[in-house]
């Protein structure tokens, strides 16, 4: 199951973003998120989904990139 | 190089008002910003009063995304700075960015963030601490946010000298302009240390005022026989300092000239105030301002309401001013806004500047019976209007022994 709805819900809660703006192809930059707010968001995602994201830098530009990364880690870590 | 420095903008977020007008109106009316603490941890404290800024609502000023990376003390600094910049109608063109800087004072920076992290790590055994903790809590975060927001590419320094931090920040910023290293400086202080750990630490030091059983707002009683200590506060104050020529050329409103400053040390004891050291600082600041002691019309005292502090400051004023000490109105506005620690010097200098502007002297409230060893004119309980003021002084004497004195005078081109 895609983690997109969870990511969208958390972005609404944490950053007051409008759900309509949170399309998969929306870039984080266009949503007003800088690298620091993304770090904070990923930290909260780890807590929410009980996962550990990789330490190495992963190219993340869009909401779909976040979703793909999280879905991959969820699959690996629940395997 | 020696240039004249003027004050062209003021901004403040404080327990006694969150605009310069509101702040000075409250001071003149003798309204206290000290009150019972209503926060969740109040029950864990023995002394449950503070000068908190209860009407500060960050979401009125910042988006949730911004708040992710801006701690309370930086939030208050940014709001105070925006008031000051608007007040000064300050616009920097790109060629001026590197000639503009920011100096701020803070004692504990983002104390709340640090404590939250410690609670997770030490109390809840949580191995995870929020990733932005360092950036939120570092003492220089407030000044750096100001630098970023206003393109201040000149010097950006945070001073941490306990109670004199922001007086030092203002004074050193003045020197930057005076000696030609910068043309415009934002200067002030910010503090948000009303946290359980910080308040417990202060309680343990036994310098906090006991709650007045009849009126918690009257708990801080500087120079009074029954004073029992200081009341912790929070807030921020930011001033715009400018090269006088620049201010005149652009037709800026000028509150006054920052005419004198000195910073020097007691070099005697880590907490015990020392009138000899304080006197040295006052006299040096007067020399810097090229003023005679008798020309000072109002003194905003450090006046913490600690037993030793008020007596020692009274002694210092007598040593520095001689017989004139008895003629000059001296007040401790901490009786109303509390002790804002790293922000307090800037807050109190602002009170003195506003006194100069309004030709009015704010009172020391809660002063029914003065300590016999405190025998100056402390403007007890009632502010005074229509007082001709040409020059005013603000004292800041810190734990650690770092003293700072700032003098402002009416600006005559």
Q: What percentage of chain A has pLDDT greater than the value 90?
A: 87
Q: Which helix (H) or strand (E) covers residue B259, if one does? A: strand B256-265
Tokens at A35, concatenated: 């690298």
pTM over 0.95: yes
Select A4-78's CATH number: 1.20.120.1200, 1.10.1060.10, 1.10.1200.10, 1.10.10.10: 1.10.1200.10
CB B343 within 8 A of CB B106: yes
Which residues 20-79 in chain A show a CB within 8 A of chain B? 32-34, 36-37, 39-40, 43, 46-47
**pLDDT-wise least confident of A75-79, B34-38, B363-367:** A75-79
Determine whether B124 is exposed, middle or buried from the number of CB atoms within 10 Å of its CB (0-12, 13-18, 19+). exposed
Residue A59 reports pLDDT greater than 90: no
> Active-site residue numbers of B?
163, 302, 339
CATH of the domain at B324: 3.40.47.10
Name the residue of chain A whose CA is nearest to B132's CA.
A40
pLDDT at A18: 97
- Name every residue whose Cβ is closer than 8 Å to that of residue B92 and which is 6 or more positions away in sequence: B100, B150, B151, B184
Question: pLDDT-derived band of residue A79, with 50, 70 and 90 as boundaries?
Answer: confident
What is the tens place of the pLDDT at every residue in B179-233?
Answer: 999 999 999 999 999 999 999 999 999 999 999 999 999 999 999 999 999 999 9
Q: What angle do CA B235, A41, B117 make, to 5 degrees?
A: 50
pLDDT at A51: 94
Residue B392 reports pLDDT greater than 80: yes
Q: Which residue has the tokens 């360092």?
A: B134
- Name every residue whose Cβ is closer than 8 Å to that of residue B324 and which is 6 or more positions away in sequence: B293, B294, B296
Name the residue of chain B whose CA is nearest to A11's CA.
B65
- A36 closest CB neighbour out of B64, B128, B135: B135
pLDDT at B1: 79
- Structurally, chain B folds into a number of domains equal to 1
- What residues of B are in contact with residue A46 (Cβ under 8 Å)? 128
CB B350 within 8 A of CB B239: yes
Mean pLDDT of B79-94: 98
Domain that residue B50 falls in:
1-413
Tokens at A20, concatenated: 């309509």
What is the tens place of the pLDDT at every residue in B158-171?
Answer: 999 999 999 999 99
pLDDT at B386: 96
Residue B298 reports pLDDT greater than 90: yes
Asked if B130's CB is within 8 angstroms of A36's CB, the reply is no
Q: How far apart are CA B376 and CA B370, in angstroms?
A: 9
Q: How far apart are CA B413 and CA B410, in angstroms?
A: 10
Mean pLDDT of B284-289: 98
Q: Please give the ipTM for the structure prediction.
A: 0.90
What is the tens place of the pLDDT at every residue in B322-336?
Answer: 999 999 999 999 999
- What residues of B are in contact with residue A39 (Cβ under 8 Å)? 131-132
Question: pLDDT-derived band of residue A77, with 50, 70 and 90 as boundaries?
Answer: confident
Asked if B65's CB is within 8 angstroms of A43's CB, the reply is no
Helices (H), ranges, B119-164 = 133-137, 141-149
pLDDT at B204: 95
In degrees and rounded to multiples of 5, residue B384 shows phi and psi of -125, 135
- What residues of B are in contact with residue A38 (Cβ under 8 Å)? none
Instruction: Give the C-alpha distances (Å, rounded to integers) separating A10 from A1, A40, B56, B404.
Output: 17, 12, 26, 48
- Name every residue whose Cβ is closer than 8 Å to that of residue B114 and which is 6 or more positions away in sequence: B108, B133, B137
């Amino acid at each position: 199951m895609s983690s997109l709805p969870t990511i969208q819900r958390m972005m609404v809660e944490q950053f007051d973003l409008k759900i309509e703006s949170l399309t998969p192809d929306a870039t984080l930059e266009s949503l007003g998120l800088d690298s620091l707010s993304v770090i904070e968001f990923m930290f909260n995602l780890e807590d929410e989904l009980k996962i550990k994201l990789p330490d190495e830098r992963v190219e993340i530009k869009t909401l779909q990139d976040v979703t793909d990364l999280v879905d991959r880690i969820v699959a690996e870590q629940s395997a | 190089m020696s240039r004249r420095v003027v004050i062209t903008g003021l901004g403040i977020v404080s327990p006694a008002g969150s605009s310069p007008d509101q702040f000075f109106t409250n001071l003149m009316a003798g309204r206290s910003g000290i009150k019972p603490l209503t926060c969740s941890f109040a029950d864990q404290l023995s002394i449950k009063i503070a000068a908190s800024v209860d009407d500060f609502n960050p979401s009125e000023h910042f988006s949730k995304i911004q708040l992710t990376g801006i701690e309370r003390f930086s939030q208050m600094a940014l709001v105070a700075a925006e008031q000051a910049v608007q007040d000064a109608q300050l616009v920097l063109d790109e060629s001026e960015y590197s000639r503009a800087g920011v100096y701020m004072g803070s004692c504990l920076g983002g104390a709340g963030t640090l404590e939250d992290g410690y609670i997770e790590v030490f109390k809840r055994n949580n191995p995870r601490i929020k990733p932005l903790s360092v950036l939120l809590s570092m003492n220089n975060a407030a000044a750096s946010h100001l630098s970023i927001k206003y393109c201040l590419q000149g010097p950006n320094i945070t001073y941490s000298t306990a109670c004199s931090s922001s007086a030092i920040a203002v004074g050193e910023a003045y020197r930057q302009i005076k000696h030609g290293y910068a043309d415009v400086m934002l200067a002030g202080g910010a503090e948000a240390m009303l946290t359980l750990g910080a308040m417990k630490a202060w309680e343990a030091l036994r310098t906090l005022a006991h709650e007045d059983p009849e009126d918690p707002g009257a708990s801080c009683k500087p120079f009074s026989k029954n004073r029992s200590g200081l009341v912790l506060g929070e807030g921020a104050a930011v001033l715009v300092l400018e090269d006088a020529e620049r201010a005149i050329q652009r037709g800026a409103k000028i509150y006054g000239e920052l005419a004198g400053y000195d910073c020097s040390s007691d070099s005697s004891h880590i907490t015990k105030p020392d009138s000899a050291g304080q006197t040295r600082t006052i006299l040096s600041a007067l020399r810097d301002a090229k003023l005679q002691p008798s020309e000072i019309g109002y003194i905003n005292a450090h006046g913490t309401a600690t037993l030793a502090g008020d007596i020692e400051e009274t002694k210092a004023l007598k040593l520095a001013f001689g017989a004139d000490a008895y003629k000059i109105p001296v007040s401790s506005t901490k009786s109303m806004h509390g002790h804002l620690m790293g922000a307090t010097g800037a807050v109190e200098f602002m009170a003195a500047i506003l006194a100069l502007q309004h030709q009015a002297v704010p009172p020391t409230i809660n002063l029914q019976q003065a300590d016999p060893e405190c025998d100056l004119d402390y403007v007890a309980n009632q502010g005074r209007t229509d007082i001709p003021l040409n020059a005013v002084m603000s004292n800041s004497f810190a734990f650690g022994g770092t003293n700072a004195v700032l003098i402002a005078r009416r600006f005559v081109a």
